Amino acid sequence: MVTSPRGTMLGMYVPAKFQVGDDDAWRIVTDAGAGTLVLATPEGLVSAFAPVIVSEDRRVLYSHLARANPWWRKVTPEMEVLAIFVAASAYVSPSDYPSRSENPNVVPTWNYAMAQVHGRVRLHEDAEWKLDQVRALTHQFERGRSPEWQVDAMDETYRSSQLKAIIGVEIEVVAIDGKAKLSQNRPEIDQRNVRERFAEGTLEQQIVASRMKMIE
């Protein structure tokens, strides 16, 4: 897999403090589970939100969309796609910074962890391909549940009708870039306070707090 130079090929601004390696970027993709797939067409930008699975060698993303979704009709052979994944996201208030007592010149910001995958998109109509994809996708998100729901539990006739209603999507990965903006540019006392406050906050804040703990 070819990876992009930081902040160039994919056009994403990533200050050095917020850079993440490819392994961490891929973790953001899998933790997000689903992302926004963006195409640049002669008529303008079009997007679709879809769950994805990543091949073991990280060379391919697999997904599917409802056939009724017009996104796939804009795809041409070897068309480029930008897939955007957000695994954590929350507003940070200046009031969360204890250091403001010494330096009041602070502003609000946003903490987040996101990744962008640049690739080439290909569509699949074959029923077996789509069946394998939804089996793998369902297993990924059902893993650990008891009982684990399985695609093969469906009535075959109903399953066949559902497969006809979707289109398979395969993205050959060209590059990945990741960014984790998690208060690394703030004094340690501010980082700790944001992390502790978020750990007791909303679900979105708790997710950000978990990400912040990863970089301690």
Cis peptide before 15 (omega within 30 of 0): no
- Complete edge-to-edge strand list for the sheet that includes strand 34-41: 44-51, 34-41, 79-92, 109-124, 166-181, 60-66, 53-54
Q: What is the pTM of this model?
A: 0.92
- List the one residue out of 181, 180, 211 whose CA is nearest residue 195: 211
The pLDDT value recorded for residue 2 is: 38
Q: What is the mean pLDDT of residues 160-166?
A: 97
The pLDDT value recorded for residue 216 is: 76
The CB density around residue 47, as the number of other CB atoms within 10 Å, is 13
Confidence of residue 215 (pLDDT cuts 50, 70, 90): confident
* Domains of the chain, earliest start first: 16-93+105-184 (2.30.110.10)
Q: What is the mean pLDDT of residues 100-117?
A: 94
pLDDT, tens only, 128-152: 999 999 999 999 999 999 999 999 9
Confidence of residue 11 (pLDDT cuts 50, 70, 90): low
The pLDDT value recorded for residue 5 is: 38
Higher pLDDT, 84 or 9: 84
